[in-house]
Amino acid sequence: MSKMTDKLDVMAYLERINYKGPCEPNIDCLRQLHVAHLTSVPFENLSIHCGEGIVLDLLLVYDKVVRRHRGGFCYELNRLFAWLLEQLGFHVILISASVFHLYTRRYGPPEDHMLLLVTLSSGLHVLADVGFGSGFRLPLFLEDGRRDAQVNGTFRLRLDSAMWLMEQLNFTGMEPNTPGCVPKNGDVWVPRFKFNLTEKCWGDFSAMSIYQQVSPASLCCCKSLCSKHLPNGAITYMGWRVISTIYEDGKARKTTRQILEEEIPAFLKDTFGFTLPNKLIPRDEPIQENCSNQHPLQH
């Protein structure tokens, strides 16, 4: 173990995600860890909106998530989760995805999102993702067309030429004529992101990490948000809104209420369990579309 990683504690991480199950590198353990992580660690970008820079450094991410009980975005959470899985004996590689953005109805640039491809001892490949916010709750087997009904929706992976598409059935707010959607017999499969299986290193995401923090075409830059899965729903803070979601009978029922700026720090503490180091500047602005599909190095 390196001098860097010997400062990271597996047991403290497991305690942070309230995981008390077995730690064997198999699919049952992976599924339990995945759910534990999503229901304990929020997807959040509040560092961007409180003057706290995001640096892709494993010690810093560990300190933020495990010791300070914060969350993070995909480049932070999935990389840290990959480290945990590796320590428990799983074979994991990082891969990149382009997200189908619900606001712009277009795919984002390469390295827009970071995913984990886990190979089990049986040789089966499984997609894991604890850094997408509203994505699948349980890992998905890398199998073309396989439907996976979960608490928060039905998902599938579909192979299209050299690209894999992660799609969600009848996702809220999307119509059959939305570009990229696949309507069939009354159902609408909505694209969430697309990816290939090329292995990436963490440094490959550095430019996109900066882009997400500063670009007016980035959701993370335009909207201050924090979201966490609940056993039968989700709770999301965005700008000056709190969105509560309950999953019932395969449908999502959402309610929204306004929150005053002075109420936000207490809400974050009570709901997500953390206090920000600096004053939060709430933000909920439209996302610019004209550069959403360009790579940040082209700007």
Q: Say if CB 207 and CB 213 are below 8 A apart.
A: no
Q: What angle do CA 249, 37, 239 make, to 5 degrees?
A: 75
Q: Which of 74, 220, 221, 222 is catalytic?
A: 74
Mark 258-291 as b/e (b = at least 16 C-beta within 10 Å): ebeeeebeeebeeebebebeeebebbeeebeeeb
Q: Name the one residue in this structure whose structure tokens are 């335009």.
A: 222
113 a catalytic residue: yes
112 a catalytic residue: no
Q: Which of 34, 113, 220, 226 is catalytic?
A: 113
91 a catalytic residue: no
Dist CA 1 CA 295 (whole Å): 36
Q: Say if CB 281 and CB 287 are below 8 A apart.
A: no
Q: Which of 129, 220, 226, 229 is catalytic?
A: 129
**Joined tokens for residue 164:** 């894999």
Mind telling me the catalytic residues?
74, 113, 129
